């Protein structure tokens, strides 16, 4: 039997990057995956790829910043076994040059978006006395990363929410963990370099890669492998944990 056979998994921000890799891996492991994404075209494309490879998947246009949109997305589900809160946005700037609007923008997606999904999913899990939740935090939850004030603050909140949910629902069969990646090579990274460093792209890519002591960025598939373990029964004794997947940043720098 595959690791996630007969499980229904919701993955947010699943149209591209890490979310797409997680949805793809979960489907390969036997889960029926519901891809939530605000970008209809991306979600549909990722879903088509999964189905073409023999997996079970469906796309839903869901904006995690909207309580109504999230509620509507979950109301269409008959149950939920796994929730992966992956949707998030980046932000660059220190305290002084991070505007109030930018701070709110980041928190609305990275914190309130997870809050909306947790509020919708946890009651469904509690009814069945079972469920696995995985939140995407960051090494920024634990370390001081230069010029990432709003982003780091939001990811610190993600870790705190993880611990709170793990504590409050441990008696209801619900496990809640988070992953703390360092830099991962996604289309976002490529787009960022193309926009901000068009003349020194290769140099900046090498610099971003070298930040990890292992000498490279992670891949979405590596994040997905850890996500699969933490959402499977193989990790049934793990809850309230924050797993570093960072090429040695946290321990070797």
What residues are annotated to the active site? 151
Please name which of 55, 32, 11, 13 lies closest in space to residue 186, comparing C-alpha atoms: 13
The alpha-helical segments, DSSP class H, found in 67-111 are 67-75, 100-110
Q: How far apart (Å, rounded) are the C-alpha atoms in residues 85 and 121?
A: 11
Compute the chain's Rg from CA coordinates: 18
Give the burial class of 145: count Cβ atoms within 10 A of its Cβ; 0-12 exposed, 13-18 middle, 19 or more buried. middle
Residue pair 20/39 in contact by the 8 Å Cβ criterion:
no
């Amino acid at each position: 039997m595959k690791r996630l056979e007969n499980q229904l998994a919701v993955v947010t921000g699943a149209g591209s990057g890490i979310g797409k890799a997680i949805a793809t891996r979960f489907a390969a492991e036997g889960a029926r995956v519901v891809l939530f994404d605000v970008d209809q075209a991306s979600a549909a494309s990722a879903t088509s790829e999964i189905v073409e490879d023999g997996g079970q998947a469906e796309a839903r246009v869901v904006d995690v910043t909207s309580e109504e949109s999230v509620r509507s997305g979950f109301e269409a589900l008959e149950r939920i076994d796994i929730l992966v809160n992956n949707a998030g946005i980046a932000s660059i700037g220190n305290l002084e040059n991070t505007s109030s609007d930018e701070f709110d923008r980041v928190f609305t997606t990275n914190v309130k978006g997870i809050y909306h999904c947790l509020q919708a999913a946890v009651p469904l899990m509690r009814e069945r006395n079972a469920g696995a939740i995985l939140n995407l935090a960051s090494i920024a939850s634990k370390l001081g990363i230069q010029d990432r004030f709003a982003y780091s603050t939001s990811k610190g909140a993600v870790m705190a929410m993880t611990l709170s949910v793990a504590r409050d629902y441990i008696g209801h069969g619900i496990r809640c963990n988070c992953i703390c990646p360092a830099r991962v090579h996604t289309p976002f990274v490529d787009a960022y370099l193309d926009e901000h460093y068009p003349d020194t792209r290769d140099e900046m890519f090498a610099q971003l890669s070298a930040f990890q002591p292992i000498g490279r960025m992670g891949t979405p598939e590596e994040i997905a492998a850890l996500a699969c373990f933490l959402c499977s029964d193989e990790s049934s004794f793990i809850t309230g944990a924050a797993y570093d997947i960072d090429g040695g940043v946290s321990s070797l720098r």
